[in-house]
């Protein structure tokens, strides 16, 4: 009979000695450099008061938050997840419903979006996380399509027309212009939070259990990692921030519809972002977000590439897998050993 998991088990969520991990994190120069760089970039539009620059950085920080969340599953457990957009969309719908129907505050909407996404991840995790490899990837594709169809026919959420907010909702936040700045500050904060949490997970016993599971799931079980629990908690951790971000983003847009909320292209682009920067690393999603969003901006403004943007993303993913499977950060860590502490 297997021993029951305790607070030191790699498979249990309580295996995180949080105070010690935080103290360790503050002594890591690579993490401090990553967070410091994000703070500088995040403050740039604030100092210059350039609204166009703010929107550009907003897009990059959005990509950082989503990619770092996905990296918890893709990078640490090795599970290819095409359905992370499900949590983004569900969080957006729950938040918009509370904002539009009950006049809830943005903070309540974001919290509810994160909780709803976490609960959905708990339910889905019990059902699909026993699958492995391509079977899990296909299952996440199916979940994404099922959720898009279900929400599109769910009348409380507006069915196919979605939910729209009256612009008067911004009055409580100082008007539309101030609300745009507020959502920008909050998103930068969420991006910093998820990068920090990603690092804490990576260096914890829980994270070591996830990475052992990634290398050999059967061997990890033999070594005492309770793999179903570990994978489920990782799935939940990867779902909460996208749910909160979804509520924030669609509040900003004042409208949500099924297709934009559960867009498969968004899932593929987030996957490419993680792979480009380096899966399983903390810095990778940050560099990947900056690199891919720069490429995406070029593709969208180029007459030849703007209609085949998804195809270009697919080709880029193939090239990464073939030639730099460890991503930019992994390649740099392997080539320049002295940089390892600066490239978490």
> What is the per-residue pLDDT across 250-279, written as a single tens digit (0 to 9) for each?
999 999 999 999 998 888 889 989 999 999
Q: Which of 236, 246, 85, 89 is nearest to 154 (CA)?
A: 89
Q: Residues with Cβ < 8 Å from 336, sequence gap 6 or more?
A: none
How many distinct structural domains can be found in the chain? Answer: 1
Q: Which domain holds residue 333?
A: 13-342
Q: Render pLDDT for 278-297 as a digit per residue (tens, 0 to 9).
A: 999 999 999 999 998 888 88
**75: three-class secondary structure by DSSP:** coil
- Residues 286-343 pLDDT 10s: 999 999 888 888 777 777 776 777 777 778 878 887 888 888 898 888 888 887 878 8
Domain harbouring 194, CATH code = 1.10.3470
Q: How confident is the model at residue 2 (pLDDT cuts 50, 70, 90)?
A: very low
Does 65 fall in a domain?
yes
Summarize pLDDT for 13-56 with one digit per residue, the tens.
Answer: 444 456 666 666 667 788 888 999 999 999 999 999 899 999 99
In a domain, 3, yes or no: no
pLDDT digits over 73-117, tens only?
999 988 888 888 999 999 999 999 999 999 999 999 999 999 999
- Residue 325's CB is within 10 A of a number of other CB atoms, namely 12
Of 121, 101, 108, the closest CA to residue 231 belongs to 121
Looking at residue 161, what is its pLDDT?
A: 92
Three-state SS for 11?
Answer: coil
pTM of the complete model beyond 0.85: yes
The residue whose two tokens read 């979804």 is 246
In terms of phi and psi (left: phi > 0; alpha: psi -120 to 50; beta: otherwise), the region of 181 is alpha
Does residue 36 sit within a domain? yes
Q: Is 6 contained in some domain?
A: no
Residue 8 lies inside a defined structural domain of this protein: no
Residue 4 belongs to some domain of the structure: no
CA dist., res. 308 & res. 298, Å (int) = 12
pLDDT of 214 strictly over 90: no
Q: Is 156 exposed, middle or buried (0-12, 13-18, 19+ CB in 10 A)?
A: exposed
pLDDT > 70: percent of the chain: 89
Judged against a pLDDT cut of 60, whether residue 12 lies above it is answered with: no
Decide if 67 contacts 59 (C-beta within 8 A).
Answer: no
Q: What ranges make up the beta strands (E) of the chain?
A: 163-164, 255-256
Q: Helices then strands (H, E): number in the chain?
A: 15, 2
Q: Which of the two residues, 99 and 228, has the higher pLDDT score?
A: 99
Does 43 fall in a domain? yes
Residue 49, pLDDT score:
87
Backbone angles phi, psi at 306, to 5 degrees: -65, -25
Q: What is the pLDDT of residues 162-194, one digit of tens each?
A: 999 998 899 999 998 999 999 999 999 999 999
If 0-12 CB within 10 Å is exposed, 13-18 middle and 19+ buried, where does residue 338 land?
A: exposed
Which tens digits make up the pLDDT trace of 133-162?
A: 788 888 998 999 999 999 999 999 999 999
Any domain includes 183: yes
């Amino acid at each position: 009979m297997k021993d029951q998991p305790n607070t030191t088990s790699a498979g249990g969520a309580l295996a995180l000695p949080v105070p010690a991990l935080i103290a360790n994190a503050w002594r890591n120069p690579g993490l401090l450099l990553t967070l410091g760089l994000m703070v500088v970039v995040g403050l740039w539009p604030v100092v210059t008061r350039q609204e166009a620059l703010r929107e550009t950085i907003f897009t990059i920080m959005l990509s950082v938050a989503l990619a770092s969340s996905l990296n918890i599953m893709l990078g640490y457990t090795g599970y290819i997840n095409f359905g992370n957009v499900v949590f983004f969309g569900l969080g957006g719908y729950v938040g918009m419903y509370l904002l539009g129907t009950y006049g809830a505050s943005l903070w309540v909407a974001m919290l509810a979006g994160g909780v709803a996404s976490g609960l959905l991840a708990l339910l889905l995790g019990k059902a699909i996380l026993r699958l492995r490899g391509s079977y899990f990837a296909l299952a996440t594709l199916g979940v994404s399509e099922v959720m898009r169809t279900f929400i599109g026919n769910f009348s409380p959420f507006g069915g196919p027309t979605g939910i729209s907010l009256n612009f008067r909702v911004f009055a409580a936040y100082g008007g539309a212009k101030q609300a745009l700045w507020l959502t920008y500050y909050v998103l930068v904060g969420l991006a910093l939070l998820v990068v920090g949490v990603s690092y804490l997970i990576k260096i914890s016993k829980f994270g070591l259990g996830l990475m052992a599971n990634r290398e050999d799931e059967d061997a990890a079980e033999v070594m005492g990692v309770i793999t179903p629990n570990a994978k489920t908690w990782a799935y939940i951790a990867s779902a909460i921030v996208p749910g909160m971000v979804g509520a924030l983003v669609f509040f900003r847009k004042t409208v949500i519809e099924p297709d934009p909320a559960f867009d498969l292209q968004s899932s593929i682009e987030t996957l490419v972002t993680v792979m480009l920067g380096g899966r399983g690393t903390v810095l990778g999603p940050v560099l990947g977000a900056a690199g891919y969003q720069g490429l995406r901006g070029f593709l969208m403004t180029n007459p030849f590439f703007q209609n085949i943007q998804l195809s270009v993303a697919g080709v880029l993913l193939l090239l990464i897998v073939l030639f730099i499977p460890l991503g930019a950060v992994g390649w740099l860590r392997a080539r320049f050993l002295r940089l390892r502490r600066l490239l978490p």
